Structure 1
Amino acid sequence: MAELADSGGPAGLSEVSSAVVVIDVLRAFTTTAWAFAGGAEQILLAGSLADALALKTRHPDWVSVKDGPPAPGFDTVNSPGHLRSLDLTGRTLVLKTTNGTAGALAARNAPLVLCAGFAVAAATARALAVHRVRRTTFVITGDDGLAEEDLACAQYIAGLAAGSAPDAELCLRRASRSVRAAEIAEGLRHGYPGIHPDDVPLCLEADRFPFAMRAVPTAPADGEPAYMTLRPHHV
């Protein structure tokens, strides 16, 4: 059984299912998928920009990533178009975004937390089947739980997990007409930093990668802020 849950931040989940799939299509969990495809070993999901900077300060070799324009202390931005050009082999990334990381941290107490966008949709559905999940909550992180691109992706994954054959192209068309896709296009027209021309096309490519992405709570070292660790989950 699957249900959609609204999560606008850490307080967004009042109940925890046996599995939670946190959706952020545009762009966090497409960016992370491309980072893993580029060789990244793990991605730490930070609760705040200050926490991300603190982790970066303690580990200067880690790659720090944030939403929006470049900023001091951060190595790059939350953009699949930008990250796909980097050699991330064996690297650890620290990521803080407005919606995706907050949604994952809100679900931290669930037995199974998967982070997803269209790029890893089929693999995410396979992971739910392999883990024999009986009840899944899909957390729609964008637009206070109303983001059309996230809803379309959640419904696509839920359909695959249920054994049906959802129309991927229909779901992708819905996502392409979303408010967030339009905002990114507008940002490109005005030269807004932190956006790559290929971001939306990369985010709206279904089943590009064969792995899911699993997030687990991690006990930080002394003096480090709390975070979750995201890794590829091969099924």
Structure 2
Amino acid sequence: MDHRFVGIPELTAVPRVAVVVDVMRAFTVAAWAFSRGAERIVLAPTVEEALALKEGRPGWLALKDGAPAAGFDAVNSPGLIRSRDFAGRTLVQKTTAGTVGALAVADAPLVLCASFVVAGPTARYLRAGAAGPVTFVVTGEDGRADEDLACAQYIGAHVSGGRVDPAPYVHRARNSRAAADLGAGRRAGCHPDDVELCLEVDRFPFAMVARREDSLTVLRPVTAPVNPAR
């Protein structure tokens, strides 16, 4: 299956199939939230809209990058949400890169959001049902973030050739600038375990698909075939 890798600023047209990658940490956090029972995640374009969405709908929760802030119920850290109970809840997520990338391609016929923790299921979902070339949106550092590019290339290799050794890709992510910043505590709202949690390959058995639902862009977990025909 043909694919290409672009940063958010390079998006000039709506792709047929988009895989939006944010390893550290938006779509690792989203996967953890689903594993903790969240029903859906609404992707918000701004902090203000995230709060407005939450405030207008009782029972919704909001999370964002950075330090804890008034009105937000969680921060964008897998280590800080992994023990939370989100059973049946709707979360509103706003991050610096991941949600921006997903919203930029929200009109594509198929949009998946991915990180290492759902890489294999994402590749299987693509092999089973994607029609057309795949555009991987590398969200960090305007497309230069090596943790996101490594994950995107790993998924792309998985789609093209079946089994792929994840070790070289994880090594690149472990040595990325984002990993260094998280490991040194230079990002607000982080946990000491965040880097390792972001580098777990196939921690979860689902892929994550973003679709328009009324006026919102909504992320939900989807089952990926175990061994789809190639």
TM-score interval, normalised by the smaller of the two chains: over 0.9
Name which of 78, 81, 101 aligns with 2:79. Answer: 81
TM-score scaled by structure 1?
0.92
TM-score scaled by structure 2?
0.94
Structure 1 residue 218, shift from structure 2 partner: 2.2
Structure 1 residue 163, shift from structure 2 partner: 2.2
Name which of 211, 218, 224 aligns with 1:216. Answer: 211
Q: What is the match of residue 88 of structure 2?
A: 90
CA deviation digits over 1:71-126, x for unaligned, max 9? 00101100111111101111100000000000000001110000000000000001
Q: 2:230 matched to 1:229?
A: no
CA deviation digits over 1:34-67, x for unaligned, max 9? 0000110000000100100101111241110000
Structure 1 residue 184, shift from structure 2 partner: 0.8
Structure 1 residue 130, shift from structure 2 partner: 1.4
User: Secondary structure at 2:37's aligned position in 1?
Assistant: coil
Aligned counterparts, 1:32-111, within 5 A: 32-111=30-109
Structure 1 residue 185, shift from structure 2 partner: 1.4
Name which of 161, 186, 204 aligns with 1:163. Answer: 161
Judged with a 3 Å threshold, the aligned counterparts in structure 2 of structure 1 residues 158 and 233 are, in CA distance, closer, same or farther, namely same
Name which of 122, 125, 129 aligns with 1:124. Answer: 122
Identical pairs, percent: 52
CA deviation digits over 1:131-183, x for unaligned, max 9? 14330000000011100000000000001111243220110010000001111
Tell me the distance in 1 between the aligned counterparts of 2:75 and 2:130: 36
Structure 1 residue 193, shift from structure 2 partner: 4.2
User: Secondary structure at 1:205's aligned position in 2?
Assistant: coil
The residue type equivalent to 1:208 in the other structure is R
Name which of 14, 29, 34 aligns with 1:31. Answer: 29
Tell me the distance in 2 between the aligned counterparts of 1:63 and 1:17: 31
Alignment length (residue pairs) = 223
Instruction: Tell me the C-alpha RMSD between the 2 structures.
Output: 1.2
- In structure 1, stretches of 5+ residues that fail to align are 221-226
- In structure 2, stretches of 5+ residues that fail to align are 225-230
The residue type equivalent to 1:152 in the other structure is A
Q: What is the match of residue 174 of structure 1?
A: 172
The residue type equivalent to 1:174 in the other structure is R
Q: 2:196 matched to 1:201?
A: yes
The residue type equivalent to 1:159 in the other structure is A
